[in-house]
Amino acid sequence: MVPRWLAAVEIVHRLPGRVRLRYVLEAGMPADAAVLESQVAQLPGVLSARVNRRAASVVVTFDPDETDSDGVGAAVARLSPPSGPAPARRPAGNGKTAVAASLATLLGSGLLPPALRLPLSLAGAMPLLRQAIADYRQGGVTSHVLEGMAVAISLARSDHTAANTTTFMLSLGEYMEESIARRSDELLKHLLRPSSDRVWVLRDGVEVLEPAATVAVGDTVIVATGSVIPVDGTVLGGEATVNEAAMTGESASAVKGRGAAVLSGTLVEEGRLAIYAEQVGSRTAAARIADYVEQSLLSKSEAQLEASRMADRLVPLVLKLAGASFLVSGDWRRAASVLQADYSCALKLATPVAFKSAMYGAGQAGILVKGATALERLAQADTFIFDKTGTLTTGMLEVTDSVTFDSSYTPEDLICLAASVEEHYFHPLAMAVVAAAQATHNRHFDHLEVQFIVAHGVASVVDGKRIVVGSRHFIQEDEGIAIDSHLDVIDRLYQDGKTLLFIGFGGRLLGLLALKDTIRESSARTVARLRRLGARHILLLTGDHRDRAAELSGQLGLDGFRAELLPQDKARIIEELSARGARIAFVGDGINDAPALAGAHVGIAMQKGADIARLTADVALLEDEIERVADAKEAANAVMDLIKTNYRATVGLNTAILGAAALGLLSPIATSVLHNGTTIGILLNALRRHSAR
């Protein structure tokens, strides 16, 4: 039977789309308000949730079309408790107030008559002692129980200075540790940029201000100076300077014009853009960041879990050592010193703080990492496998050949003639032709209204003659234009792996434009960096022709390739390599890459990848740059090195303190100062790498 988290849930107040619930925890269940709030917010139909831990209540806003107050209440009542032990909290009171109170007790107790010192010291230590008793009842001997025992021993011996110093240092340590942990969470949340809830949309040629929730894929969104872009899309018109620092970490603003990709959450500093909405609402990059941040704050890596298990295993050892030191020496002070030198705090907190800081740094560099586990696996990856199109290549076609069959038209004329009608068509082929025309003398041919024939091409009239630009099927079968006399040229270009655009003019084939995907300039650098970062094998898997795959593999110096593959073939190959012990990072962007992304040790999706690819992947790139893959690997390696360093420092320093305390070389006060000081230092070291960015 699945245990229940909440013993009772009742509706206190309800309004349309909003309900306030009061809850009672099951005995022994964790009172973790942040996790409860997160789980309630993820329930079907729920828009947001806010938990008040002191009032034991939760306010929920929901979509009335999907659920109602009773449905929300029933769903909350069925929640299962979070997996794993609840993180224990020291009874430091309320942050700064608790530190100030314990400091006042430490400084003031010596000024009081002896008869009043014990009551004051006991009052100051009472929150710590109560928490120690509660921890012992729930989970046996924990680090907090050891600390409570140390203070109790000092109080029993009337060593008020030692007891008050320990209480103060524990309060200060708790406050600093929680501040550092909170700061690491805030670093991640800092990636989010709120967007306006109202958006200008072009409707029938008129700009209309509408709720952001009503914007749909295919709408034309208008964004002007000072506004945050609310959708992911492509610029249809206008020009603007866009600050993308919130999403890519790039401090220099980018000039965006027709055909440029833009991301939600970025700011238009100057200018005005008309944007074709490709991703809206929860599918935008900014919304996905919020999703990833939520996951990263709650998820635990194997390194984090192992550190926590190690800390728990060491608690009984410390207790036994304290007992042994007392039996040997008969000195309660020595036992009290040993009890304070536990490993728990630094081991349990330093690892998640380091991971969160690394994820923040990656986010600032244009890399979204879905949790600490993804970073951990990426650091372990020794084999990198790439898809071809849109990954190692740009995925953007470029005109490579202009072949005219009429001597009165030059190859440049042919490009400009096609571009004159294609410039009205929003399609990768059309954009490539327009770009090629702009690189020539860019002659413009006047024409009548352009007709769009879906999945075929475009048609218009130039100088009284019908012009058609499109696929072979469109030209040959729909328009009835003969191409047989030019089959040698057509077949040669096809064999070169090029995409052909046919131009018919006045009922005859005027010429051909050949287009081809190009290798990214940074692909070779990325491959070289990955080798330096520990990649032993770098392979190419593609559905493309064998000859093109071989050419690309040779140019980039890859270790091998497999071509003409179906999606299931890629997944099968990854499964076979994994069975041989390879730890695979797969980099792809298409719908056909989703099975491979899911089956790899870690999946990395390109910025322009299909939704299913980005959702399946463990790492999603925010900008269309293959070098971010090497950046992600470098960040993963760095954080794992940092965690190992912190782990060694924690074990080494605390073992030294523990040994010195057991030998009677440290007083309880000195042990408390050293232990808490080193813990805070280790936590700051976990945070420092990315907080300075």
Residues with catalytic function: 387
Residues forming beta bridges with residue 209, ordered by sequence position: 200
In DSSP notation, 97-124 reads HHHHHHHHHHHHGGGS-HHHHHHHHHHH
Edge-to-edge strand ranges of the sheet holding 18-25: 6-15, 18-25, 57-62, 46-52
3-state secondary structure of 63: coil
3-state secondary structure of 359: helix
CB 348 within 8 A of CB 313: no
Which tokens belong to 576? 């076979």
Closest CA to 604 of 592, 471, 616: 616
The torsion angles phi and psi of 113, rounded to 5 degrees, stand at -60, 150
Determine the Cα–Cα distance for residues 10 and 44; give it in Å rounded to an integer: 19
3-state secondary structure of 647: helix
Q: Are strands 393-404 and 508-519 parallel, antiparallel or unpaired?
A: antiparallel
Closest CA to 549 of 534, 522, 570: 570
The torsion angles phi and psi of 690, rounded to 5 degrees, stand at -115, -15
Burial class for 252, CB neighbours closer than 10 Å (0-12, 13-18, 19+): exposed
Q: Are strands 499-505 and 18-25 parallel, antiparallel or unpaired?
A: unpaired
Which tokens belong to 442? 């860019």
Position of tokens 């470029």? 398
* Percentages (nearest 5) of helix, strand, coil residues in the chain: 50, 20, 25
> How many residues can be counted in the chain?
693
Position of tokens 């490709």? 278
Determine the Cα–Cα distance for residues 410 and 415; give it in Å rounded to an integer: 9
CB 159 within 8 A of CB 174: no
Determine the Cα–Cα distance for residues 358 and 352; give it in Å rounded to an integer: 10
Closest CA to 678 of 644, 646, 640, 642: 646
Biggest CA–CA distance in the chain, Å, is 113
CA 63, distance to chain mean position in Å, is 27
Which tokens belong to 103? 């400091």
3-state secondary structure of 344: helix
CB 33 within 8 A of CB 53: yes
The DSSP letter of residue 327 is: H
**Residue 2 CB-half CA count within 13 A:** 10
Residues forming beta bridges with residue 386, ordered by sequence position: 540, 587
Position of tokens 């005005």? 272
**One-letter amino acid of 488:** D
The set of residues, in sequence order, having a beta carbon less than 8 Å from that of 302 and lying 6+ positions away, is 373, 376
**One-letter amino acid of 288:** R
Determine the Cα–Cα distance for residues 622 and 617; give it in Å rounded to an integer: 13
Residues forming beta bridges with residue 238, ordered by sequence position: 273
